[in-house]
């Protein structure tokens, strides 16, 4: 029994060690569990947060997608009562060019446009009609302006949305917009023979909103200018135009050149070229907030054909346009001649056939240097010799070639006031004629500027 205490003591000792060991092990396990809990909780929180952010981002994207899609107005591409808008010819690689009719509408049938444009009421004419041609390989583009005062044979049209129709007649080409943009497409296709794949129409308010969205467009004027009709008033030199001042610049008819529509198209080309440079140089397209602002303004401003009625389609088109270098975007005005019956109107010149043909043939009009005179090296070998000016085509007759022969680009651009988008050296030439009218007195735009010190300048 002398062992009992020892045994008991040993037993108690063993039990004590085991208990201590178990408690220690339990402590370490608890510690490990204690250390694991925050980490696991953190992972769960991170997972939930990430999932939440994904859902919120997806929801925001979906909201923006629906919002921008909902902004877009659309209408049928072609409203002619016969035929269609033409068909592109693919190149050797199966690629096709894109031709888009850009329309600037002078519609004043809503409160915003009415306040901006002056005269109010139903109906619309096209202040601007430009065919934007993007080559099949997306290496070059041409912007062809068709003067709004052009008199020509117009096709019969039916506006399915307004339920109105127009008979075929001889008239001013910009009047076709009153029967919908699809009628303007039909008229331009009939006159030029150029296939029209899409149209994009913007109204007064759209010009204001889009110029604001990109932070303004720099332009230059050769002298002080004031056109009381458009309200454009600028000092000689360079200005950045936003909002109303941008609209005044692209709409003025009496500020530049001889005070007619032809010089206005030249000023519009300067404005568009500057807008392209601004978009590329200011980093607008890499700034998400700026892109959203521009997208919101653009989609609110646009009416497009049914083939461009979604954001996805517009983004695809924008990507195609963004591939073209600035020095390979050519601006030109359709060659024209005075209308003998009306000095304020013009007819399609037979020389315009050459320019139409280069677009139909998808011929580039510039080299990478932006030099239109060197463009002949880009054309097929059969185009190295200038073609003769056509003389048998009546000025107002539609041009509908089946397989037009290539044309020397220098011939195509003759008398077309060509320029490239990378050229920032020019200034809009203020008219030296008495094209402005102030209080019923004809005077030059510079004289009107001097006599109107109380009228605020359109831009600093």
> Residue 205 — very low, low, confident or very high, per pLDDT cuts 50/70/90?
confident
Question: Residue 5: pLDDT above 80?
Answer: no
Tell me, yes or no, whether 92 lies in a domain.
Answer: yes
Question: To 10 degrees, the CA torsion angle through 249, 452, 444, 118?
Answer: 50
Mean pLDDT, residues 372-389 taken together? 36
pLDDT band at 138 (very low <50, low <70, confident <90, very high): very high
Q: Cβ-count burial of 165 within 10 angstroms (0-12 exposed, 13-18 middle, 19+ buried)?
A: middle
Higher-confidence residue: 89 or 292? 89
Are the beta carbons of 144 and 130 closer than 8 angstroms?
yes
State the pLDDT at residue 385. Answer: 30
Q: What is the mean pLDDT of residues 116-139?
A: 80
pTM reported for the whole predicted model: 0.79
Q: Looking at the domain assignment, is residue 157 inside a domain?
A: yes
Using only C-alpha atoms, what is the Rg of the chain?
33
Q: Where are the beta strands (DSSP E) in 73-192?
A: 73-75, 98-105, 126-134, 141-145, 150-154, 157-159, 164-166, 169-172
What pLDDT does residue 6 have? 43
CATH number of the domain where residue 180 is located: 3.30.420.590
Q: 108-112, 172-176, 219-223, 424-428 — which is least confidently predicted? A: 108-112
Question: Span 38-51, mean pLDDT?
Answer: 58
pLDDT of residue 48 exceeding 90, the answer is no
145, pLDDT greater than 80: yes
Phi, psi of 407 (to 5 degrees): -125, 140
For residues 285-301, give the mean pLDDT.
Answer: 77
Range of lowest pLDDT (20-24, 151-155, 186-190, 335-339):
20-24
Residues 282-294, mean pLDDT to the nearest whole number: 70
Query: Tell me, what's the pLDDT at 460?
Result: 94
Query: Whole domain around residue 367: which residue ranges?
Result: 74-215+282-429
C-alpha–C-alpha distance, residues 143 and 355, integer Å: 11
* pLDDT of 148 above 90: yes
**Confidence label for 51 from pLDDT (cuts 50, 70 and 90):** low
Q: What angle separates helix 261-281 from helix 244-251, to the nearest 10 degrees?
A: 140
Domain count, the chain: 1
**Once rounded to an integer, what is the mean pLDDT over residues 99-127?**
70
**Structure confidence at residue 290 (pLDDT):** 72
| SS3 state of residue 19 | helix
* Rounded-to-integer distance, Cα 121 and Cα 438, Å: 25
**206-242 pLDDT, tens per residue?**
888 888 888 899 999 999 999 999 999 999 999 999 9
Task: Determine the Cα angle at 139 with ends 135 and 140, to 5°.
Answer: 60
Q: By CB neighbour count within 10 A (0-12 exposed, 13-18 middle, 19+ buried), where does 21 fall?
A: exposed
Q: pLDDT tier at 10 (50, 70, 90 boundaries)?
A: very low
Q: Is 257 left (phi over 0), alpha (psi -120 to 50) or beta?
A: left
Is residue 38 in some structural domain?
no
* 436: three-class secondary structure by DSSP: strand
Q: Has residue 401 got a pLDDT over 90?
A: no
Residue 62: inside a domain: no
Determine, yes or no, domain membership for 441.
Answer: no
pLDDT in tens, 331-362: 999 999 999 999 899 999 999 999 999 999 99
pLDDT at 9: 41
What are the residue ranges of helices labelled H in 361-416? 409-412
Q: Which secondary-structure segment (H or E) carries 268? A: helix 261-281
Distance separating alpha carbons of residues 118 and 110, to the nearest angstrom: 12
Section 120-131 average pLDDT = 78
Instruction: Note the pLDDT of residue 32.
Output: 53
Q: Report whether pLDDT(384) > 50.
A: no
For the chain, give the percent of residues with pLDDT over 90: 54
Strand duo 150-154 + 342-348: pairing: parallel
Lowest mean pLDDT among 143-147, 226-230, 299-303: 299-303
Cβ of 172: how many Cβ atoms within 10 Å?
A: 19
Residue 453 in domain:
no
pLDDT, residue 377, reads 37
For the stretch 157-203, pLDDT in tens is 999 888 999 999 999 999 999 999 999 999 999 999 999 999 999 98
Residue 378 lies in a domain: yes
| Residue % of the chain over a pLDDT of 70 | 73
CA distance linking residue 361 with residue 378, whole number of Å: 13
Residue 367 scores a pLDDT above 80: no
Mean pLDDT of all residues in 428-438? 96
Residue 229 covered by a domain? no
Q: Whole-angstrom Cα distance, residue 364 to residue 134?
A: 10
């Amino acid at each position: 029994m002398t062992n009992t205490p020892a045994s008991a003591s040993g037993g108690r000792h063993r039990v004590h060690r085991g208990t201590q060991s178990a408690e220690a092990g339990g402590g370490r396990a608890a510690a490990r569990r204690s250390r694991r809990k925050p980490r696991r909780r953190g992972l769960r929180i991170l997972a939930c947060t990430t999932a939440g952010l994904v859902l919120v981002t997806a929801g925001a994207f979906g909201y923006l997608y629906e919002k921008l899609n909902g902004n877009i107005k659309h209408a049928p591409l072609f409203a002619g009562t016969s035929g269609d808008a033409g068909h592109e010819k693919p190149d050797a690689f199966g690629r096709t060019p894109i031709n888009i009719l850009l329309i600037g509408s002078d519609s004043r049938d809503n409160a915003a446009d009415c306040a901006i444009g002056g005269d109010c009421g139903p109906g619309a004419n096209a202040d601007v009609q430009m065919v934007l041609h993007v080559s099949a390989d997306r290496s070059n583009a041409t912007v062809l302006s068709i003067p709004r005062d052009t008199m020509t044979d117009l096709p019969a049209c039916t506006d399915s949305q307004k339920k109105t129709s127009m008979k075929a007649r001889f008239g001013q080409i910009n009047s076709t917009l009153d029967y919908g943009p699809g009628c303007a497409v039909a008229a331009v296709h009939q006159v030029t023979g150029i296939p029209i794949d899409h149209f994009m129409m913007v109204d007064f308010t759209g010009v204001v909103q889009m110029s604001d969205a990109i932070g303004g467009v720099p332009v230059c004027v050769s002298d002080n200018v004031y056109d009381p009709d458009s309200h454009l008033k600028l000092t000689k030199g360079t200005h950045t135009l936003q909002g109303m001042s941008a609209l005044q610049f692209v709409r003025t008819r009496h500020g530049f050149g001889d005070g007619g529509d032809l010089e206005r198209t030249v000023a519009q080309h300067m404005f568009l070229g500057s807008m392209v440079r601004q978009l590329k140089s200011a980093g607008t397209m890499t700034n998400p907030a700026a892109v959203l602002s521009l997208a919101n303004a653009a989609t609110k401003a646009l009416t497009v054909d049914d083939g461009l009625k979604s954001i996805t389609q517009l983004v695809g088109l924008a990507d195609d346009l963004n591939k073209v270098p600035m020095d390979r975007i050519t601006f030109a005005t359709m060659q024209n001649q005075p209308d003998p019956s009306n000095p304020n109107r013009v007819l399609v010149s037979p020389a315009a056939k050459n320019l139409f043909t280069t677009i139909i043939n998808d011929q580039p009009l510039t080299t990478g240097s932006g030099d239109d005179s060197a463009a002949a090296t880009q054309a097929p070998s059969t185009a190295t010799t200038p073609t003769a000016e056509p003389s048998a085509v009546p000025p107002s007759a539609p041009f509908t070639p089946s397989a037009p022969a290539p044309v020397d680009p220098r011939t195509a651009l003759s008398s077309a006031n060509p320029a490239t988008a990378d050229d920032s050296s020019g200034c809009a030439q203020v008219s030296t004629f008495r094209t402005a009218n102030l209080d019923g007195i004809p005077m030059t735009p510079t004289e009107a500027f001097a006599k109107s010190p109380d009228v605020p300048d359109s831009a600093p």
